[in-house]
């Protein structure tokens, strides 16, 4: 059975079925949902699918972690932005397109909207009355899990919301009268300050990651040659942004494994995970120099090395984070920390000698 | 670390000896031989030993007396291994012996290890059946404290006996440079300390040929970290030739993206700059003011020049998919120093039309090739493919180590332990750096201003007047009959005064940016920029950091570097002219 991301709850058949449906749809498509599968147009027919359902086929496979940094590669690609500007934009552009202080909306090389928190990790910043940051909370929890809870355990969902975002969260911001989940668009999920609950940016979903993985398991051809350039591959699959750190990392790892004839899946439980924070160069304020900065990183949800939520704050709130220097700069934004936070998925690679499937690059 | 794999592997013995003899210093200002001095044909190996070999000072490896070991070698690598008689034979054995020597939870424990991979031949032929040398190197670090890594190791292969190690020595300050020589197992030499990059006999020699200021070299420092393993371009199994055991090694399997190395390298750079400035303050004098000012103005001596490499984020493969190719602004102006130190604007998002860039590549027959005049094949399989490097437009920019040096002097962060140095004012720095500002690297005009800097030591009591004195001296020369362009340009800004230089510089830059933007819209403008880029690349190809022909793409642009030069003009146009 496929377990919940981060093993945050006991396994449930409904969730397992939901994720297996995502895998099936990503491979075979679903006309009713207007979803095209990765296998459409792939050759040769009759081969085992390179991307597989690990429940249906419990193959012996090695786990390959695929890491990337949490701070947006699309913003990093805009070399004319200063560090400070990039940090401020990232903090403020969680679910809305990134805008500079001058009002100029930032776009990618193809004119597409850019988002500051688009690497399957989002964060919220909490400040004290003086405006200093006291806590930054990072999450990789996918909205699909919360939607699942709305149908299987609405009482537990409301309790979880109140645990994560505060006791005063009204039920109406989580569940509609008919019991459907409305929390995805609720204030605590779209604002950039106050406690975050789960990923809310449109591309940061488990379904997106699974679709990308399935698509990337099919080699692409262009002008008769196999596409090996990761950015071109992203354009060929038309999934994800070539300038992000996450999507090309996932796609290129899976594509390279598929090219060797391997079969690929995502380790159970499939999800996006927080690897931790790199604290080299961090200086804590006077009186706290002996404290290991790693102690400020506090995992909140997830187990067995699969953390999905963590906060960064001084023990007992002993000092605001603005008194912490990172590379010589006081921490004034959550993005400075996000630059040091790593996110990962775990791919399963089953060594096989199957003939790789190919299809033409989307024009 | 750039010594390993430099030309010593492609030089014949006679050529090496000729070069060593030709560069043996006869004055204290001439660099001695570089890394080739470590070639096994030239130095005797000694199994399981540690000797001192300061190229330029020691004619051959020397015995290190116990007192010298105690005084000089207090980095963790020496303390935990070498001084205890442990002499690892291979790169992976260095880490294994460290694990034996230090316990869990210690600053250099296995838990603090990070590994990184670079290969100029990655990305361009993801096909294991192609057997050419991809030029893989591994960098492995230990230590994750507030100053970053305490030990950095570089090797072609975890099982290689050719190893370079840099290890921080907090007692003397700076990194100690170690390497194996001669191929004999565990034949180690201490090749110097960062401070020796600043001392007359050793500067520009041995390891300091490639580390001119005594820093860790991570020349592709910035996003997208061209040639390095990382999210923008992952190095994977398809980049290795069949049967290459390195593909299965933990250093590759667990390698981290260059985005992790970037802050580590930045911390190593800050750490040595901070200590170097402290050493200068404590000594009460700047020993060689010209060498000091080279960090601002550039050096006419190739072995003392420093640059990083930066590129577009557009790949050669996607040139037919995108409309625009973004170009790094630091090719056109010293953007990091202007913005970060002098608080001046940098240009906003420079780019050229992708179809125009493609036409330029075709016109100049641009190819990626694994051999050139400095890097012959020597029996290796040839490789060539048309087009630019994976990330296109790889060009030199001001080295991060110099940007940080300037920042620490002019805008120190006392909370971070930085002390600054009162000798250089913002006004002097700005007026020097704005000379020939459209050419942020390799500016002969800026280098000429070094002639005004005194050669004798600059004592601390003279520091408060140094900026004013030097500024007035150059301004006075500008008023003379034999004034140079550089002096006149300097004087114009200097005369704007303490309150006026910033606005005057901002106006010059704004006008340049506007004209540059116009030029980049025209095919002729883009062609000129490409030729300028090629001219700057050719200079880098002659530098020790150019370890392989795959570093850059090659073209059919023909010119004689000794006679001609390309320069960017304030009008945004590129001029090809005879050298003065």
pTM, entire model: 0.95
Token pair listed for B433:
């750096």
| DSSP code string of A87-98 | HHHHHH-SSS--
CA angle in degrees (0–180, nearest 5) for B380-B231-B117: 40
The candidate with the shortest Cα–Cα distance to B435, out of B396, B390, B399, B484, is B484
A240 close to B (CB below 8 A):
no
Burial A240-256 (b: 16+ CB within 10 A, else e): bbbbbbbbbbbbbbbbb
Token pair listed for A223:
């002008």
CA distance linking residue B198 with residue B501, whole number of Å: 32
Helix, strand and coil percent figures for chain B, each rounded to 5: 40, 15, 45
Provide mean pLDDT across the span B367-371.
97
> Exposed, middle or buried, A104 (CB in 10 Å: 0-12/13-18/19+)?
exposed
pLDDT in tens, A92-125: 988 888 888 888 888 876 777 888 999 999 999 9
Size of chain B in residues:
580
Q: Count helices and strands (H / E) in chain B.
A: 16, 18
CA distance linking residue B181 with residue B160, whole number of Å: 12
pLDDT at B21 over 60: no
The candidate with the shortest Cα–Cα distance to B304, out of B574, B56, B11, is B56
Contact B263 A327 (CB under 8 A): yes
SS3 label, residue B15: helix
The pLDDT of residue B196: 97
Distances (CA, A) of B31 to B9, B199, B462, B546, B561: 21, 11, 29, 18, 22
Going B513 to B517 to B520 to B525, the CA torsion angle's sign is negative
In chain A, residues with a C-beta closer than 8 Å to the C-beta of B346 are 80
Q: Are B188 and B177 in contact (CB under 8 A)?
A: no
The candidate with the shortest Cα–Cα distance to B498, out of B463, B471, B477, B476, is B471
The candidate with the shortest Cα–Cα distance to B189, out of B11, B350, B57, is B57
Q: How far is B336 from chain A (nearest CA, A)?
A: 9
The alpha carbon of B323 is separated from its chain's Cα centroid by a whole number of angstroms, namely: 32
What share of chain B in percent tops pLDDT 90?
84
Size of chain A in residues:
363
pLDDT in tens, B124-140: 999 999 889 999 999 99
Task: Work out the widest C-alpha separation in chain B, in whole angstroms.
Answer: 70
The pLDDT of residue B10: 32
Provide mean pLDDT across the span B250-263.
97
Q: How far is B390 from chain A (nearest CA, A)?
A: 8
In chain A, residues with a C-beta closer than 8 Å to the C-beta of B244 are none
Q: Are B37 and B43 in contact (CB under 8 A)?
A: yes
Q: Which residue of A has its CA nearest to B266?
A: A327
Pinpoint the alpha helices (H) of B133-257. 250-253
The pLDDT of residue B1: 55
B197: number of Cβ within 10 Å:
27
pLDDT at B14 over 70: no
Q: Which residue of B has its CA nearest to A77?
A: B313
CA angle in degrees (0–180, nearest 5) for A56-A58-A59: 125
The candidate with the shortest Cα–Cα distance to A67, out of A124, A146, A140, A153, is A140
Sheet (strand A225-226) strand order: A225-226, A219-222, A358-360
pLDDT in tens, B393-403: 999 999 999 99
pLDDT in tens, A147-156: 999 999 999 9
pLDDT at B425 over 70: yes
Token pair listed for A7:
């093993």
Burial A221-235 (b: 16+ CB within 10 A, else e): ebeeebbbbbbbbbb
For residue B386, cis peptide bond before it (omega within 30 degrees of 0): no
Residue B17's pLDDT band, with cuts at 50, 70 and 90, is very low
Rounded to 10 degrees, the C-alpha dihedral A266/A270/A274/A276 comes to -60
Pinpoint the alpha helices (H) of B184-287. 250-253, 258-283
pLDDT in tens, B496-510: 999 999 999 999 999
Provide mean pLDDT across the span A283-307.
96
| DSSP code string of B496-553 | T-TTTHHHHHHHHHHHHHHHHHHHTTSHHHHHHHHHHHHHHHHHHHTSTT---GGGS-
Q: Are B448 and B486 in contact (CB under 8 A)?
A: yes
pLDDT in tens, B543-577: 989 989 999 999 999 988 889 999 999 999 999 99
pLDDT in tens, B311-328: 999 999 999 999 999 999
Question: Phi first, then psi: what are they for A248, rounded to 5°?
Answer: -65, -30
Residue B142 gets which letter from DSSP? E
The pLDDT of residue B512: 98
Return residues 238-257 of B near A (CB < 8 Å). Answer: 238, 256-257
pLDDT in tens, B510-554: 999 999 999 999 999 999 999 999 999 999 999 989 989 999 999
Question: Phi first, then psi: what are they for B71, rounded to 5°?
Answer: -80, -40
Question: What ipTM was predicted for this assembly?
Answer: 0.95
Q: What is the mean pLDDT of chain A?
A: 94
CA distance linking residue B260 with residue A2, whole number of Å: 32
Token pair listed for B564:
């001609």
Provide mean pLDDT across the span A126-143.
96
In chain A, residues with a C-beta closer than 8 Å to the C-beta of B317 are 227-229, 231-232
Interface probe with B: pick from A328, A336, A342, A349, most Cβ of B within 10 Å: A328
pLDDT at B416 over 80: yes
B323 close to A (CB below 8 A):
yes
In chain A, residues with a C-beta closer than 8 Å to the C-beta of B257 are 67-69
Rounded to 10 degrees, the C-alpha dihedral A262/A268/A273/A276 comes to -90
B260 close to A (CB below 8 A):
yes
pLDDT in tens, B458-469: 999 999 999 999
Question: Over B72-124, what HEC string results?
Answer: HCCCHHHHHCHHHCCCCCCHHHHHHHHHHHCCCCCCCCHHHCEEEEEECCCCC
Token pair listed for B522:
């025209």
A242 close to B (CB below 8 A):
yes
B386 close to A (CB below 8 A):
no
CA distance linking residue A335 with residue B496, whole number of Å: 39
Q: Quote the strand ranges of B170-218, DSSP E.
A: 175-180, 187-193
Contact A109 B348 (CB under 8 A): no
The pLDDT of residue A106: 86
Q: Is B103 left (phi over 0), alpha (psi -120 to 50) or beta?
A: beta
Token pair listed for A71:
């701070």
The pLDDT of residue A238: 84
Q: Are B181 and B163 in contact (CB under 8 A)?
A: no
In this structure, of A20-34, A189-203, B265-279, the range with the lowest mean pLDDT score is A189-203
Q: How far is A24 from chain B (nearest CA, A)?
A: 27
A285 close to B (CB below 8 A):
no
> Exposed, middle or buried, A96 (CB in 10 Å: 0-12/13-18/19+)?
middle
Q: Is B484 left (phi over 0), alpha (psi -120 to 50) or beta?
A: beta
In chain B, residues with a C-beta closer than 8 Å to the C-beta of A77 are 223-224, 313, 326
The pLDDT of residue A103: 84
Burial B256-292 (b: 16+ CB within 10 A, else e): bbbbbbbbbbbbbbbbbbbbbbeebbeeebbebbbbb
Q: Is A341 left (phi over 0), alpha (psi -120 to 50) or beta?
A: beta
B384 close to A (CB below 8 A):
no
SS3 label, residue A66: strand
């Amino acid at each position: 059975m496929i377990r919940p991301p981060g093993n945050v709850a006991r396994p449930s058949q409904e969730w397992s079925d939901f994720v297996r449906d995502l895998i099936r749809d990503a491979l075979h498509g679903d006309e009713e949902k207007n979803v095209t599968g990765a296998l459409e147009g792939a050759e040769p027919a009759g081969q085992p699918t390179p991307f597989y359902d690990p429940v249906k086929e419990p193959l012996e496979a090695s786990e390959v972690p695929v890491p990337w940094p949490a701070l947006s590669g699309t913003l990093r690609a805009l070399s004319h932005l200063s560090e400070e500007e990039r940090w401020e934009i990232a903090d403020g552009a969680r679910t809305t397109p990134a805008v500079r202080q001058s009002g100029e909306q930032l776009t990618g090389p193809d004119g597409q909207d850019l988002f500051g928190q688009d690497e399957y990790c989002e964060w919220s910043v909490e400040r004290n009355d003086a405006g200093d940051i006291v806590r930054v909370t990072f999450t990789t929890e996918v909205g699909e899990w919360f939607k699942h809870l709305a149908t299987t355990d609405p009482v537990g969902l409301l309790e979880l919301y109140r645990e994560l975002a505060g006791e005063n969260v009204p039920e109406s911001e989580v569940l509609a009268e008919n019991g459907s989940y409305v929390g995805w668009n609720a204030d605590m999920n779209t604002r950039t300050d106050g406690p975050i609950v789960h990923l809310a940016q449109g591309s940061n979903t488990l379904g997106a990651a699974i679709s990308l993985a399935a698509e990337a398991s099919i080699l692409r051809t262009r002008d008769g040659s196999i596409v090996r350039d990761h950015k071109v591959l992203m354009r060929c699959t038309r999934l994800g942004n070539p300038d992000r750190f996450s999507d090309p990392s996932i796609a290129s790892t899976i594509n390279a494994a598929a090219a060797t004839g391997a079969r690929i899946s995502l380790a159970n439980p499939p999800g996006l995970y927080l690897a931790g924070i790199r604290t080299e160069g961090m200086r804590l304020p006077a009186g706290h120099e002996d404290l290991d900065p790693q102690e400020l990183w506090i995992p909140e949800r997830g187990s067995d090395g699969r953390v999905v939520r963590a906060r960064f704050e001084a023990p007992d709130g002993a000092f605001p984070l603005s008194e912490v220097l990172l590379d010589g700069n006081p921490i004034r934004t959550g993005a400075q920390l996000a630059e040091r936070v790593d996110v990962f998925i775990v791919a399963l690679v089953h060594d096989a000698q199957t003939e790789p499937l190919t299809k033409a690059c989307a024009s | 670390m750039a010594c390993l794999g430099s030309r010593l592997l492609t030089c014949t013995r006679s050529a090496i000896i000729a070069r060593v003899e030709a560069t043996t210093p006869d004055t204290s200002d001439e660099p001695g031989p570089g890394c080739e001095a470590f070639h096994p044909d030239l130095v005797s190996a000694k199994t399981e030993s540690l000797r001192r070999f300061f190229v330029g000072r020691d004619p051959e490896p020397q015995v290190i007396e116990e007192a010298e070991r105690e005084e000089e070698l207090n980095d963790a690598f020496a303390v935990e291994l070498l001084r205890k008689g442990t002499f690892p034979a291979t790169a992976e054995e260095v880490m294994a012996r460290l694990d034996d020597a230090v316990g869990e939870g210690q600053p250099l424990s296995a838990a603090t290890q990070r590994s990184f991979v670079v290969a100029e031949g990655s990305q361009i032929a993801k096909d294991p059946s192609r057997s050419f040398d991809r030029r893989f190197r591994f960098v492995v670090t230990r230590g994750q404290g507030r100053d970053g890594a305490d030990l950095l190791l570089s090797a072609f292969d975890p099982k290689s006996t050719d190893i370079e190690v840099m290890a921080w020595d907090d007692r003397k300050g700076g990194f100690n440079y170690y390497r194996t020589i001669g191929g004999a197992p565990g034949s180690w030499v201490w090749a110097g300390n960062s401070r020796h990059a600043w001392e007359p006999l050793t500067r520009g020699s041995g390891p300091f040929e490639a580390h001119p200021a005594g820093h860790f070299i991570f020349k592709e420092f910035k996003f997208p970290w061209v040639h390095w393993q990382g999210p923008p371009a992952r190095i994977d199994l398809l980049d290795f030739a069949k049967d290459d055991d390195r593909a299965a090694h933990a250093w590759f399997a667990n390698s981290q993206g260059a985005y992790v190395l970037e802050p580590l390298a930045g911390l190593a750079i800050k750490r040595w700059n901070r200590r170097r400035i402290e050493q200068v303050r404590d000594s009460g004098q700047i020993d060689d003011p010209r060498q000091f000012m080279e960090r601002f103005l550039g050096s006419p001596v190739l072995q003392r020049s420093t640059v990083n490499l930066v590129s577009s984020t557009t790949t050669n493969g996607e040139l037919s998919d995108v409309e625009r190719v973004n170009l790094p602004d630091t090719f056109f102006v010293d953007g990091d120093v202007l913005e970060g130190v002098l608080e001046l604007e940098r240009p906003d998002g420079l780019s050229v039309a992708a179809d125009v860039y493609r036409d330029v590549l075709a016109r100049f027959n641009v190819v990626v090739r694994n051999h050139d005049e400095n890097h012959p094949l020597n029996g290796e399989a040839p490789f060539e493919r048309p087009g630019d490097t994976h990330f296109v437009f790889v060009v030199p920019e001001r080295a991060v180590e110099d940007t940080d040096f300037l920042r620490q002097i002019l805008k120190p962060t006392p909370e971070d332990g930085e002390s600054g140095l009162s000798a250089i004012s913002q006004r002097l720095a700005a007026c020097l750096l704005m000379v020939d500002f459209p050419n942020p690297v390799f500016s002969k005009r800026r280098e000429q201003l070094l002639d005004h800097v005194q050669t004798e030591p600059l004592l601390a009591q003279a520091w408060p007047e140094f900026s004013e004195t030097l500024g007035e001296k150059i301004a006075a020369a500008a008023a003379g009959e034999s004034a140079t362009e550089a002096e006149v340009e300097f004087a114009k800004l200097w005369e704007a005064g303490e309150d006026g230089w910033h606005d005057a510089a901002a106006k010059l830059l704004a006008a340049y940016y506007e004209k540059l933007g116009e030029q980049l819209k025209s095919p002729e403008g883009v062609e000129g920029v490409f030729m300028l880029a090629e001219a700057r690349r050719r200079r880098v190809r002659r530098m020790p950091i150019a370890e392989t022909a795959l570093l850059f793409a090659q073209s059919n642009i023909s010119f004689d570097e000794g006679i001609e030069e390309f320069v960017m003009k304030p009008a945004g146009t590129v001029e090809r002219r005879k050298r003065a």
